[in-house]
A and B are shown apart, each in its own frame.
Chain A
């Protein structure tokens, strides 16, 4: 069959079987790594009746028909977090999952695909700093077993947000705690900010313009301790969230929190985020019980979410996530 006929018949591009085989090995080794460390592999719903309110994410909405006249709205998960946390809260122990997750309204091709493969794991008794060691071991294991293009050495370089911000802007984050003073910093550096912007929005504009691009020269770097003013489900301490993000060659690959367990704090966060969620294009039912689930839980727990398509892309020197997917969104739609 000619290549053109083949493309027409099968939809999308020509499949690169070498990449397909390598991808299979990559997924199998990831599972082996966690199983050997005693983690339980779990599966949780992809189609959900409610979600956590996350104003920075747009979601996919669909309908389940009980009968033709009776229907139920449901959503494709942007992350399996809400279900995996329920397993943790009920005593599942250390768990991991490789799942499909869905995010709407993002750009296509280079770093995003609306449907993508997410690895998420939770370790009981760990805080966010201890999870860095698990991450380093995983990446070393995968890159060595698969003879990746880049050779890694551990520990990965770690830098606090406070230090990174100071290095690239000359400003002490602790001294720009109010909206007016952080706006001044932005304007002084030629960044356009509006009067109605929140501290978090101005902070992110400065971060995305001056700090994040500077991380591109690092093979691996862990940015940790984000300002508490950025709302997350991470535990907070002295104005900072116990959170890190892994960047590889400037590409954001994974993030981690020490999980916040306080019912009161989670409830407060849920309410504030549900308000901000109203500005999103697609609305959804808010998870009714997540803030309550940890009320009987004691001890620490930390969780990591890692974009598998992006990690595969970076390990083997590909330039886009589209290249590592046999049927990327832009090829099939």
Chain B
């Protein structure tokens, strides 16, 4: 058993909490001025899929559990699941969309992704830190930050809207941070 302090928890980590396995969807450090330090967590139950919010002391001990990752090709999605296929065994996996709605912004058909397995069940998609997306619509001008009107909004191939510098045009390929949906750079 591997016990860690709650302050060391990071996003994407898997934990046992109140007996059940969970994956950390969000982790935010909170220090309410004085007194104790806390960690605010958004956790997804790896069995039921239920999402819970918990605030725990950063000094508390939690159990870090092991999960397995496998590569698989993204096929398509329907209203309930994202469908993937293991390229070596041709086995197909369905991962529930619930709680992972934001993933659709970063999934491109035919591309390979890392899937997370808990006791042989696929339960989550591990996105790369940054991903390349093509700009499909650069006409959609939206007011940017008030400091600098040097940004505008564009739509990418997955439907994700991204704030970019004004020189970005339709057909450009841009690097986007998957955690925040922020523009990083042009990669033409």
Q: Which A positions have Cβ atoms within 8 angstroms of B? A: 3-4, 7, 13-14, 16, 18-19, 22, 54-58, 105-107, 109-112, 147-149, 191-192, 194, 197, 200-201, 204-205, 207-209, 212, 226, 230-232, 243, 245, 252, 255, 279, 281, 316-320
Contact = CB atoms under 8 A, between A and B. Distances in A.
27 contacts: A18-B147, A18-B150, A19-B145, A22-B148, A56-B31, A56-B32, A56-B33, A56-B35, A57-B31, A105-B58, A106-B31, A109-B180, A192-B18, A192-B56, A194-B60, A197-B57, A200-B36, A201-B35, A201-B57, A204-B32, A207-B32, A230-B33, A279-B59, A281-B7, A316-B147, A317-B146, A320-B180
B186 interface: yes
A251 to B, nearest CB: 11
B33 A245 contact: yes
A104 B184 CA distance: 26
B163 to A, nearest CB: 10
Dominant secondary structure at the A interface = loop
A7 B187 CA distance: 13
Contacts of A14: 185
B47 to A, nearest CB: 18
A56 B34 contact: yes
Interface string B19-53: 00000000111111111111010000000000001
B38 A231 contact: no
Contact of B146 (A147, A230, A245, A320): A147
Given A7-B185, A107-B28, A200 B35 contact: yes
Contacts of A281: 7
B145 A318 contact: yes
Contacts of B38: 204-205, 208
A225 to B, nearest CB: 13
A18 B148 contact: yes
Contacts of A320: 180
Contacts of A230: 33-35
Contacts of A58: 37
A149 B146 contact: yes
Interface residues of B, number: 32
B147 A231 contact: no
B101 interface: no
A3 B34 contact: no
Contacts of A147: 146
7 interchain residue pairs of minimum CB distance: A18-B148, A107-B29, A149-B146, A232-B34, A56-B37, A208-B55, A230-B35
B4 to A, nearest CB: 13
Contacts of A109: 180
Given A107-B29, A192-B18, A252-B33, A19 B148 contact: yes
Contacts of A54: 34
A204 B60 CA distance: 14
Interface in B134-187: 145-148, 150, 180, 184-186
B80 interface: no
B119 interface: no
Contact of B55 (A106, A209, A226): A209
Given A56-B31, A56-B34, A107-B28, A316 B40 contact: no
